[in-house]
Amino acid sequence: MAEKEEEEQQQSYYYYHLEIPEPNWLAKLLALQSEIIYNCLVTIFSPFLTLSAIASDSYRRAELTASAAESAILAAPRKLTRSTTAMMTKIGLGILGAVHVCVVLTMVMVLSVVLGVGLVRMWAEEPVFSTHKLLFDFTNPNPSAIVHLGNKMPIVGLTTTVIPVGHTFHVSLVLLLPESDYNRQIGVFQLSAEVLTASGEVTARSSRPCMLKFRSLPVRLARTFMMAIPLLLGISDETQKISVELLNQKEAYYPRTGAIRVTLIPRAGTSYLPQLYEAEMVIKSKLPWSKEVVRRWRWTFYVWTSLYIYVSSVIILATCFRPLLFPVPTRRRTGEEAAGGNGGGEWEAEEDTSTSDMVRKWQVRRRKRKASSFLYGETTTTTSVSSMTMSSRDDASSSVVEEEIGDSESVCFSG
């Protein structure tokens, strides 16, 4: 009995001291149901919401792109006109500059060619070649003839070209003799040549024997028979031409050669002189080795000397007289250009104003999109963890799309 009473007391104690549960289970049940319904609705309508957001963003982006393209199209004619004018001006100035440079370089080239050819001609020398007819004075026992080469001679007083110093000159005498019995009987006679200075002094002397070529009687008769018609018609003559080299001398600085005297001397023991139709002296000179090389390669020296002078002249012009070779044009603004410049400034101010308005509108639209996305994210975070993850994904995707749109808009606007 005592035990039963104790059990009853304990049960009564537990009954009176037991905690009464709070009556919030109904709210939890309602919250759970609402959460399930919300998640179902979000799951059902999320594709439509995503498509609508993408469509609205695409529409806004197309609108901004169209406005930027419209502003660019409106600004294109003026920009094209100004750029075309500037380009044509630059092309014209470039052509004028090229023509100016070509003219200057052509003048320098012509001057270089003239100077190069002149210098080479002054350096190079031509060999002397001259022929002189001799008139012997047969009133003297030994007829002589003088050929003047330079400086005034006290005998005649004539002035001719002097043989250049350093040349080696050769003097030859050409005699035209008739094939007469008299000349054949004379046989050998002597030719003497003397080099005279301007004062008449003899500096060199040379002597050579001379005679007609021997032809026997049968040869003469056969030749006369074969050449009968030309001889009768006067086409051919019975003459012989004899060439005798008398002098071979090098011209020195002092004394200079003034004249050459040629004398006919009869054979010893006789006083008979040959019969002459005419006599001629041939003077040839030979250049020194260095001048002969220059003469033979004178065209090469012409080219290289002219090229060297041309390159040197161009370098001097480019370093010391650069404005003459490359002129820098200066342009002054006239009244019309100044007015055009003011108009361009107003147009640029208008363009800047329209651009600032466009930027302001774009910023306002972007702020609205951010605010709407922020509110939408707050409503989703108060529900549950699953809804938070889903909304965060949607926000991330929408933010990526917005950033891409903003970047594309900024690119379009900057273009």
Q: Which of 170, 173, 315 is nearest to 249 (CA)?
A: 170
* HSE of 290, CA atoms in CB hemisphere, 13 A: 3
Judge whether 279 and 171 are in contact, CB under 8 Å. Answer: no
Tell me the pLDDT tens digit for each residue of 236-251.
Answer: 788 889 899 988 888 8
pLDDT of residue 308: 93
Pairwise CA distance, residues 123 & 301, whole Å? 10
The SS3 of residue 228 is helix
Distances 286 to 59, 170, 294 between C-alpha atoms, Å: 101, 8, 13
Pairwise CA distance, residues 28 & 35, whole Å? 10
Residue 206 is given by DSSP the state E
pLDDT of residue 334: 46
Sequence spans of domains, the chain:
69-125+296-335, 129-286, 348-414
pLDDT of residue 139: 86
Tell me the pLDDT tens digit for each residue of 246-294.
Answer: 888 888 888 888 889 999 998 887 888 888 899 999 999 888 888 888 8
Pairwise CA distance, residues 172 & 257, whole Å? 16
pLDDT of residue 294: 86
Q: List, run by run, the mean pLDDT of 10-residue segments along the chain (415 residues).
A: 67 54 67 79 75 78 78 69 81 86 91 92 86 88 86 45 81 90 87 87 88 84 83 82 88 83 88 89 89 88 92 89 71 47 45 58 74 54 41 44 42 37
Classified by CATH at the fold level, domain 129-286 comes out as Jelly Rolls (2.60.120)
